[in-house]
Amino acid sequence: MSGKTDGLGDVEGTPSPFFQLVEAAEELAAGGKIGRPKGARNRKSVDFEKWFHAAGFKDPAVLLAEIISADTIALAAAASIKRIEALELQRKCATDLMPYLHGKKPIEIALVDERLPSLFIIAGDNQLAQAQQLLEEQRRLLSIGTPLVEGEPNEIKGLEGDQ
């Protein structure tokens, strides 16, 4: 930017906030997305990081690493704490620093049983003949016109067309 300002205090060549909103609305209407792109850092975080380093503060990750790598007995003496407390402090620092050095492993999905279901076919019986036999028994038992005793029907004399 050239640094020249107009009479209203705005820098020349940059759109006013009103026109920025108009451009954003046009982009949204055209199917574009408003906001920070995926994976981009927040501007406030970037600004804070720049200020933090410019002010001369020690990086928290460096401090955690120094506590982790310090001798436990010397750390306990320097901090006026018990040795077990110094060891617990080192463990906590290591836990806090761990995600920045070793990413979280992806979640594994364990399938309990990958076998296919079993299908048993018993081919030793003649199922068609058994079905036909059952049908014949049902016809014999349920049919009204079928005699219960097999054999020759008795002839009644005088009813056979002799008249």
Over the stretch 49-101, which tens digit does the pLDDT of each residue have? 899 889 988 888 899 999 999 999 999 999 999 999 999 999 999 999 888 88
Q: Is residue 91 part of a domain?
A: yes
Residues 89-133 have pLDDT tens digits of 999 999 998 888 887 777 777 777 667 777 777 666 777 788 888
DSSP structure string for 103-131: PPPPPPPPPS--PPPP-----SS-HHHHH
Dist CA 53 CA 66 (whole Å): 18
For residue range 12-50, what is the model confidence (pLDDT) as tens digits?
A: 666 677 777 777 777 777 666 667 777 788 888 889 989
Does 99 map to a domain?
yes
User: Structural domain of residue 94, as residue ranges?
Assistant: 58-103
The whole model's pTM is what?
A: 0.41
- Give the total number of structural domains in the chain: 1
C-alpha 126/C-alpha 117 separation (Å) is 25
In a domain, 17, yes or no: no
Residue 95, in any domain of the structure:
yes
Taking alpha carbons only, the member of 92, 57, 81, 86 closest to residue 70 is 86
| 121 found inside a domain | no
